[in-house]
């Protein structure tokens, strides 16, 4: 194989969080070469952080879908597990490949891996190209007047929109010319991404369609009406069509922000709020790029002296939707059951853990990393730090979401709470978000026994709020 003539040497495409054929610059450039292709996905064993449980389930199904899509184009997807540098070397030695393409990633550890591999391969005469594929604008392309990066979202997004131009998305290749030689490929099932005992993944996936086609269908459905009411409906968790639910597809690169932008821009006046959410994702990646430890260290170092008062029993109650605050509990059960959580509810649940329970934001970030299907390395960390007050452009420390008034405001009919907390389904709306205030006869008629069928509040709202404000003020003194 290695003695093939130069013009037949294969081109290697290393796929990562870009599991799509359309608008994939690395793949597109490789196809344009006219050479045989090797499409490779590596489960990197030296990654700084293991894939979370829920996102592993999504990854399994996304790779399955991608493999089928590649086969329909005439190619095949090679799967390998190990350290990327060693695997790439092995394939290059086995096939004689002298060209490799990948799309850029932005986590600190990943950038270090990519830089080392690129330097080594180039020194050995192998062509290496990295491409912009998963952001509208690179983190270094938007600078303040003093040459730094923006630390507040609104001026960042204003500046970004004035700088970037969004080209038309690239079409999927009509054909993928495969490398003719034999290459070993792992059996995806052997990666153990799917839970078996119990099999909670199957139930979760019944609500989602991983893969490029699923992403396209999700976007089309959203643009076919719901986007027009997005600004008003996006805060209502009881409206299943109020948000796009594209986040897992974006996180795994089954759809690009450029595809979303292009499909949505003609609807600008009714979807500007939606495109701003794409902007927050871009901002989060800028923060991650310049702060590689965003998921493990306070962005604002003065938070390092904050004294947390974690109570593991109460944290466990939060994790499993047993806090006694229905809107919070419904959100945590939605996350556990579906691997997804409504954005308004995310803020309320995060605020409750950090401020009502005075628990380090990293505890929550780690739980969401494991239970969210998307588990985006930038958005997850940036959003948790935003709620905590320790991040860039953070929510003010004195902003503490009221866990029952939020439910009363955004789940007015109680449909969301009743869906995930069926034990409260017979409670009147008046008491649904504060069942501890219901008269005994109302609770009895609804079949609710506080402390038995549904927990009593793990903390008193007023007392918890005052404790949090005092702790935050003390840390700022």
Active site residues: 277, 280, 308, 343, 361, 384
Neighbours of 303 (CB within 10 A): 21
CB 85 within 8 A of CB 117: yes
Phi/psi at 18 (nearest 5 deg)? -150, 55
Among the listed residues 303, 307, 287, the one whose alpha carbon sits nearest the alpha carbon of residue 295: 287
User: Helices 312-319 and 326-338, interaxial angle, to 10°?
Assistant: 70
Q: How far is CA 57 from CA 194, 242, 372, in A?
A: 5, 25, 10
Residue 246 marked ligand-binding: yes
CA 117 from chain centre, in angstroms, equals 26
CB 132 within 8 A of CB 25: yes
Supply the DSSP string of 254-304, one letter for each residue: SS-HHHHHHHHGGGHHHHHHHHHHHHHHHHHHHHHHH-TTTTTS-SSGGGG
- Could you say which DSSP state residue 226 is in? G
Which residue shows structure tokens 């997005």? 230
CB 353 within 8 A of CB 321: no
Residue 30 parent element (H or E): helix 25-32
Strand 37-44 vs strand 11-15: parallel, antiparallel, or unpaired? Answer: parallel
Phi/psi at 328 (nearest 5 deg)? -65, -45
Among the listed residues 16, 297, 217, the one whose alpha carbon sits nearest the alpha carbon of residue 131: 16
Residue 146 marked ligand-binding: no
Residue 467 marked ligand-binding: no
- Map residue 148 onto helix, strand or coil: coil
Q: Whole-angstrom Cα distance, residue 26 to residue 43?
A: 19
Q: Whole-angstrom Cα distance, residue 13 to residue 28?
A: 10
Q: Whole-angstrom Cα distance, residue 179 to residue 181?
A: 6
- Map residue 54 onto helix, strand or coil: helix
Strand 11-15 vs strand 77-82: parallel, antiparallel, or unpaired? Answer: unpaired
Residue 245 marked ligand-binding: yes
User: And the tokens for 134?
Assistant: 């998963």
Binding residues: 230, 243-247, 274
Binding residues for FAD: 230, 243-247, 274
């Amino acid at each position: 194989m290695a003695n093939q003539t130069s013009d037949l040497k294969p081109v290697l495409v290393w796929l990562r969080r870009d599991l799509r054929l359309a608008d994939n610059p690395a793949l597109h450039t490789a196809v344009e070469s006219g050479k045989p292709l090797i499409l490779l996905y590596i489960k990197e064993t030296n990654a700084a952080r293991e894939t979370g449980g829920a996102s592993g389930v999504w990854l399994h199904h996304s790779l399955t879908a991608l493999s089928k899509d590649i086969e329909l184009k005439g190619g095949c997807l090679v799967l390998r597990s190990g350290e990327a540098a060693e695997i790439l070397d092995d394939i290059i030695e086995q096939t004689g490949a002298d060209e490799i393409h990948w799309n850029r990633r932005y986590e600190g550890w990943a950038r270090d891996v990519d830089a080392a591999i690129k330097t080594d391969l180039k020194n050995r005469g192998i062509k290496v190209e990295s491409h912009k594929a998963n952001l509208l604008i690179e983190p270094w392309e938007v600078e303040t007047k003093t040459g730094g990066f923006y630390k507040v979202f609104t001026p960042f997004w204003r500046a970004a929109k004035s700088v970037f131009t969004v080209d038309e998305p690239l079409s999927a290749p009509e054909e993928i010319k495969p490398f003719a030689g034999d290459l070993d490929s792992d059996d995806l099932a052997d990666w153990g991404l799917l839970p078996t005992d119990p099999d909670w993944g199957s139930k979760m996936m019944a609500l989602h369609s991983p893969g490029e086609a699923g992403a396209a269908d999700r976007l089309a459905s959203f643009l076919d009406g719901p986007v027009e009411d997005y600004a008003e409906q996006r805060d209502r968790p009881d409206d299943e069509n109020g948000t796009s639910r594209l986040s897992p597809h974006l996180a795994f690169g089954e759809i690009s922000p450029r595809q979303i932008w292009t499909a949505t821009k003609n609807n600008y006046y009714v979807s500007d709020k939606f495109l701003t959410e794409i902007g927050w994702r871009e901002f989060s990646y800028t923060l991650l790029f310049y702060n590689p430890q965003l998921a493990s260290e306070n962005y604002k170092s003065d938070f390092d002296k904050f004294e947390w008062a974690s109570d593991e029993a109460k944290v466990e109650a939060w994790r499993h939707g047993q806090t006694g605050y229905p809107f919070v509990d419904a959100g945590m059960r939605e996350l556990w059951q579906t691997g997804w959580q409504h954005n308004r509810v995310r803020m309320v649940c995060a605020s409750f853990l950090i401020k009502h329970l005075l628990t380090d934001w990293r505890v929550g970030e780690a739980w969401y990393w494991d239970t969210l299907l998307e588990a985006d390395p930038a958005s997850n960390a940036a959003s948790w730090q935003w709620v905590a007050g320790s991040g860039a452009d953070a929510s003010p420390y004195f902003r503490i979401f009221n866990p029952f008034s939020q439910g009363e405001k955004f789940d007015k009919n109680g449909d969301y709470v009743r869906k995930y907390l069926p034990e409260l389904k017979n409670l009147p709306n008046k008491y649904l978000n504060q069942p501890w205030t219901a008269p005994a006869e109302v609770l009895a008629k609804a079949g609710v026994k506080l402390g038995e069928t549904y927990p009593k509040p793990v903390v008193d709202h007023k007392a918890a709020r005052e404790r949090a404000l005092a702790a935050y003020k003390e840390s700022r003194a």
